[in-house]
Structure 1
């Protein structure tokens, strides 16, 4: 069974990766359930922005790219306050190994600071948000809800559904018709899309 590693740290933004994690873990629309493993800097509990207490399954030191199929990084004030270096390093290891990394909102700033967006197409909350990190990748910034740049999938905080769709596309877990239906149901509230989604 494929494994998604999900980085957890104080105040990570529950809603940003919620859609993605549900689809990966259940496989309800893809037919391919994944194992979801939470990763912390230690095994001490963290509290999400929504107040959920999460106890990490493993520590960063226990994670190797060849043991997983995806690394997911949610936004958090943690990134904006200059944190996340250890998780950015882990993301670099995954990308170097050709294993996809999915980063949304503040996590994109952490990857920008680490130089990982300089040579890959990407998006975020806004171009100016990333430029404040001093990164050199503004020429590769794409003004879109979610962007797949090779093995890196990025999105801004207002696009959790598009983020999930982009990751599912990159992982080849659903065809375009089903992905369009997924966004139709969960973003546009289009009841006509449901039959395609479950079909």
Structure 2
């Protein structure tokens, strides 16, 4: 049986803390997480981790994926080096394959015009406004937002970001999704019993 596949973008200065909750629990749920770099050459995260991408960006096709995840990175704001990832996000959304972007990646998508007609969030509204994009009226001041296959979140919300990914893909639902969020976001010990019960079923 072919495992479901998600693609995690990795590039120099990517924020390694922003996607860990999502990728760890997607893997536990049976997804194959494939890393995608600008090329096949290794990249280094903002935390100094050296990552060898599984494949280069030009080899990624929406039809082979369940989701594209774009973490933040210094490079989103200091150069155009990551613009090809924003263009790939457009191709995914055009093919009705979801995209999840956090932190600086939201600015990249704003520059690509992908937030002009979707509800979205980021670090703060004026961060995206500085890109000159046309979607300011659709900015939502909350932890994470999902709209028509696109999830956005700010840099301080990796757990809420993961929650919206799980909701979109149906990894967890209802009280189990709520319990997962309460456990990892609020350190609610009572939520653990809900997850244990669900895992036993």
TM category (shorter chain) comes to over 0.9
1:57-72 matched pairs, under 5 angstroms: 57-72=54-69
SS at 1:44 equivalent: coil
8 Å contact from structure 1 (residues 82, 110) kept in 2: no
8 Å contact from structure 2 (residues 119, 147) kept in 1: yes
Shift of 1:168: 0.4
1:145 is aligned, of 132, 143, 146, to 143
Shift of 1:179: 1.2
Structure 1 length-normalised TM: 0.96
Q: Unaligned regions of 5+ residues in structure 2, if any?
A: none
Aligned position for 1:30: none
SS at 2:115 equivalent: coil
1:82-93 matched pairs, under 5 angstroms: 82-83=79-80, 84-93=82-91
Aligned position for 1:2: 4
SS at 1:139 equivalent: helix
Structure 2 length-normalised TM: 0.95
1:95-106 matched pairs, under 5 angstroms: 95-106=93-104
SS at 2:152 equivalent: strand
Shift of 1:177: 0.7
8 Å contact from structure 1 (residues 103, 155) kept in 2: yes
Report how many aligned residue pairs link the two structures. 194
SS at 2:114 equivalent: coil
SS at 1:102 equivalent: strand
1:163 aligned onto 2:161: yes
Aligned position for 1:194: 192
Q: Unaligned regions of 5+ residues in structure 1, if any?
A: 28-32
Shift of 1:23: 0.6
CA RMSD of aligned residues (A): 0.7
